[in-house]
Homo-oligomer: A and B are copies of this chain.
Amino acid sequence: MGRWEPDARGRLAAAALALYAERGYEQTTVAEIARSAGLTERTFFRHYADKREVLFAGAGELEDLFVRAVAGAPAPAAPLAALTVGLDAVAEMFADRREFARRRHAVITANAELQERELIKLASLAAALAGALRGRGVAEPAASLAAEAAVAVFKIAFERWIAPAEEASMQQLIRESLTELKAVASGA
């Protein structure tokens, strides 16, 4: 088996989050994360570029999955229908990650630089989704507006999903958020 470590990536992420929560993100070093996970720094850097990447690797995966699902949605589909295919696809990523997501959110909320990074990831997601819609023949500004609306739906569903005591699934909250968007948009 050599240097293979079972679920090293997950253990590093869990150790990092625990340390960020306990002593603060800024104060935590990669060496401490690795030690706490019972692994080496070398192993850390095989999985993550730096300590920030532990918090944002999932956002990159989410964007890839979301964009691929929108691009591959059955044609013809209206923009929001294609985006709904993407929202359903990413909802599945969240099945058993709620505690991780809650802890991650608390760490990010405590650090201005991480909050900025989170906003950049959401802006990047909106831009990528607008690109996927244009690739399906959707004109501007409809493509960008639909993409921004879908990111708003995702963001608000996610904020509800990680709220204390919330038990509804991400899929259910995304569906409710979509329904609410349609009601809001048709209500004035």
| Contact A149 B181, beta carbon cutoff 8 Å | yes
Contact B142 A183 (CB under 8 A): yes
The range of chain A's interface size is 35 or more
A188 contacts B79, C-beta separation under 8 Å: yes
| Residue numbers in B under 8 Å from A120 (CB-CB) | 115-116, 119
Residue of A155, A184, A186 ringed by the most chain B CB atoms within 10 A: A184
**A–B Cβ pairs within 8 angstroms, 26 of them:** A78-B184, A78-B187, A80-B187, A81-B187, A82-B188, A116-B116, A119-B120, A119-B123, A141-B156, A142-B183, A142-B184, A144-B156, A145-B152, A145-B153, A145-B156, A145-B177, A145-B181, A146-B184, A148-B152, A148-B155, A148-B156, A149-B185, A152-B152, A181-B185, A182-B185, A185-B186
**Residue-by-residue, is A128-148 near B (CB-CB < 8 Å gives 1, otherwise 0)?**
000000000000011011101
Partner of A188, one of B78, B119, B177: B78
Kindly identify which residue among B77, B78, B180 contacts A145, using a CB–CB cutoff of 8 Å: B180
Residue A176 at the B interface, CB < 8 A? Answer: yes
B186 and A182 within 8 A (CB): yes
A159 to B141 alpha-carbon distance, docked (Å):
10
Assess whether B79 is in contact with A184, with CB atoms less than 8 Å apart: yes
A160 at the interface (CB under 8 A from B): yes
In chain A, positions 60-104 with a C-beta closer than 8 Å to chain B are 77-84
CB neighbours of A78 from chain B (8 A): 184, 187-188
State how many angstroms separate the Cβ of A185 from the closest Cβ of chain B: 3
Measured CB to CB, the closest approach of chain B to A120, in angstroms, equals 6
A85 to chain B, nearest CB (A): 10
A116 to B77, CA, bound (A): 34
